[in-house]
């Protein structure tokens, strides 16, 4: 394992996140979730706190400690918190108490826990969490980094952190490519009875959107990152998901839910099952914390 000063150095890049809550369930994928989380946090330079939502019984303690001892978290073992309550509320509360700037959850793709998380926990957690949320579908023992990252760009200030986080992760993980996209709508083209656009009009709109996106991104220096930009006409959820699937992104970065409508609210808030089915990797909802994370 890397030494702490080597982790925090990160090749000269500051840590993307400093303190992370890893939500751990007693499920068949617990080992994979622990190992993949440890590798990711080691690269990102974040200190972990393990959280299990459930009753603090001797049996639960024994199972958790055994899994931790057999994982990459074994030495030194991070702090373990066992907290009863509803999962979304308990995880969000622990993140506040620990002043974490990242929460990690994960499960195997075919596991019933993942379906439960998608249906009842994730939508509430996405809105309640005080920090960023990394959701790993299909947690794997041998996956330690994200090679191709897809980041959705929104132009309002609360969403800027998504770009900063995506770039920071790509640098620390030496990702092959970071693809920055902006999804747009054209009111005149939407709905039944609307006049179909002609080719010249389509080219004009795309040129305007591409120019705006590239101009906006000039405030974020690439500093050696391999970047690609793309504007997507947002006909439906499928437009964005098809693009992410076509480029084989193993991490999708999305600005988290907020008061004004963003891409999460427009497309993903009520379509988590389709989102997870379409993507082969992980999803990061970004939210900048209002408190200073613990070191």
Pairing verdict, β 79-83 and 47-53? parallel
14, 49 in Cβ contact below 8 A? no
Counts of helices then strands in the chain (DSSP H, E): 11, 10
pLDDT digits (tens, 9 = 90+) for 41-85: 999 999 999 999 999 999 999 999 999 999 999 788 899 999 999
Fold classified for 4-137 = Rossmann fold (3.40.50)
181, 231 in Cβ contact below 8 A? yes
Distance CA 230, CA 85 (A): 43
> Residue 12: its pLDDT value, please?
61
Is the CA virtual torsion 15, 16, 18, 23 positive or negative? negative
Q: Does domain 148-286 have CATH number 3.40.50.620?
A: yes
pTM: 0.87
Q: How many CA atoms lie within 13 A of 237 on its CB side?
A: 16
Strand order in the sheet with 227-233: 79-83, 47-53, 19-23, 102-107, 132-137, 282-286, 251-255, 148-152, 177-184, 227-233
> Residue 2: its pLDDT value, please?
38
Q: List the one residue out of 256, 286, 258, 282 whose CA is nearest residue 168.
A: 286
What letters, b where the CB count within 10 A reaches 16 and e where it falls short, cover 228-241? eebbbbbeebeebb
- Strand, coil or helix: 18: coil
Q: List the one residue out of 97, 160, 159, 92 whose CA is nearest residue 130.
A: 92
Q: Where are the domains of the chain?
A: 4-137, 148-286
pLDDT digits (tens, 9 = 90+) for 8-52: 334 567 888 999 999 998 888 888 889 999 999 999 999 999 999
148-286 shares the fold of 4-137 = yes
Q: How far is CA 153 from the centre of its chain?
A: 14
pLDDT band at 5 (very low <50, low <70, confident <90, very high): very low
The answer, yes or no, to whether residue 240 has pLDDT greater than 90, is: no
Q: Residue 106 class from Cβ within 10 Å (0-12 exposed, 13-18 middle, 19+ buried)?
A: buried
């Amino acid at each position: 394992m890397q030494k702490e000063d080597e982790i925090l150095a990160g090749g000269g890049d500051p840590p993307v996140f400093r303190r992370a809550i890893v939500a751990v369930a007693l499920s068949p994928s617990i080992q994979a979730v622990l190992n993949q989380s440890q590798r990711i946090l080691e690269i990102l330079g974040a200190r972990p706190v393990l959280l299990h939502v459930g009753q603090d019984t001797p049996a639960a303690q024994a199972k958790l400690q055994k899994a931790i001892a057999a994982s990459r978290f074994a030495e030194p073992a991070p702090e373990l918190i066992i907290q009863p309550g509803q999962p979304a509320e308990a995880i969000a509360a622990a993140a506040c108490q620990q002043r974490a700037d990242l929460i990690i959850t994960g499960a195997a793709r075919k596991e019933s826990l993942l379906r439960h998380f998608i249906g009842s926990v994730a939508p509430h957690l996405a809105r309640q969490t005080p920090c960023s949320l990394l959701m790993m579908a299909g947690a794997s023992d041998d996956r330690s980094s994200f090679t191709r990252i897809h980041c959705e760009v929104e132009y309002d200030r609360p969403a800027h952190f998504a770009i900063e986080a995506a770039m920071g992760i790509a640098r620390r993980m030496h990702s092959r490519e970071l693809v920055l996209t902006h999804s747009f709508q054209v009111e005149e083209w939407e709905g039944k009875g609307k006049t179909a656009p002609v080719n010249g009009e389509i080219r004009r709109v795309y040129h305007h959107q591409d120019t705006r996106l590239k101009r906006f991104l000039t405030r974020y220096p690439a500093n050696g990152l391999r970047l690609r930009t793309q504007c997507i006409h947002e006909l439906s959820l499928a437009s964005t998901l098809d693009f992410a699937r076509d480029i084989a992104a193993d991490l999708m970065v999305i600005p988290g839910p907020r008061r004004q409508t963003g891409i999460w609210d427009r497309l993903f808030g009520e379509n988590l099952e389709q989102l997870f089915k379409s993507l082969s990797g992980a999803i990061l909802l970004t939210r900048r914390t209002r408190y200073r994370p613990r070191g």
